[in-house]
Structure 1
């Protein structure tokens, strides 16, 4: 998935997080930078309007600057220190259930409309990854 995202859209930092809304957390199941974002780490789900839009409406979150990311990323200082300033969080939904998200970060203003449109090419492969993962592991 990481290689596909890099070749298709471009990405400096790539993570995948699996959702467990019943338990109230997401678990990182892949990270291109395990020192900064270790795999299997968890964080609480913030059940806000962004999460609702991603889950219910399958709306991809896009922020193209650090200013746009303020308030949505508690780890914004770490993101900035890694040279990132724009983000795409693509929800992965199957059978009406939020499986997780694919998260791409790169330099400020990197994810313009043309790159955001390319993210659609990642939906089916990402769904396959999460379904395979969930068939073998409890999130």
Structure 2
């Protein structure tokens, strides 16, 4: 295993996802269940989206219901979808992104984090989900390392 884990694994994942599926913005969120929050642990754009930022889990929200609890990916195909899903949609658009996919990373039937890819409008499709599933499973060791440190 490379030095500097789990960051080295997440940086390699970033490159692999960019090549296989594509993204302009990529982040990895890790759930801290004891604090009831999501923390950004990795980003390819640290200026506008720095690591370490934490947001409370909003149990009434679509992200919580679909991605975290149900373990289903959420695809935002258009900017209107992004506007409904993200409070920072203007910042997202300023980065050249008008579509997104939030893909759950799960272990033992429980979501431990998510892979979040954003790109130009209409970029992500259902056809991308099998590949994202494989990438999410490959992310489990890195996220388990992060969870064990929390």
Q: Which TM-score applies when normalising by structure 1?
A: 0.90
RMSD (CA atoms): 1.5
Which residue of the partner structure matches residue 99 of structure 2?
Answer: 86
Corresponding residue for 1:98?
Answer: 111
Provide the C-alpha distance between the structure 1 equivalents of 2:89 and 2:62, rounded to a whole number of angstroms. 19
Q: How far did residue 73 of structure 1 move? A: 0.2
Q: Which runs of 5+ in 2 are unaligned?
A: 1-12
Partner of 2:83: 70
Structure 1 alignment gaps of length 5 or more: none
The equivalent position to 1:123 in structure 2, one of 136, 139, 144, is: 136
1:72 to partner: Cα distance? 1.4
CA deviation after TM superposition for structure 1 residue 94, in Å = 0.7
**Whole-Å separation in 2 of the counterparts to 1:96 and 1:116:** 18
Q: Could you tell me how far apart the structure 2 residues matched to 1:109 and 1:53 are?
A: 20
Shift of 1:7: 1.7
Q: 1: CA distance between counterparts of 2:63 and 2:45? A: 25
SS of aligned partner of 1:83: coil
1:33 pairs with 2:45: yes
Report if the CA contact (8 A) 2:106-2:137 is conserved: no
**Residue by residue, what CA displacement relative to the aligned partner does 1:98-131 show, whole Å, maximum 9, x if unpaired?**
2111100000111123334431221211212201
Q: TM-score, normalised by structure 2?
A: 0.84
Residue aligned with 1:134, SS: helix
SS in 2 for 1:111: coil
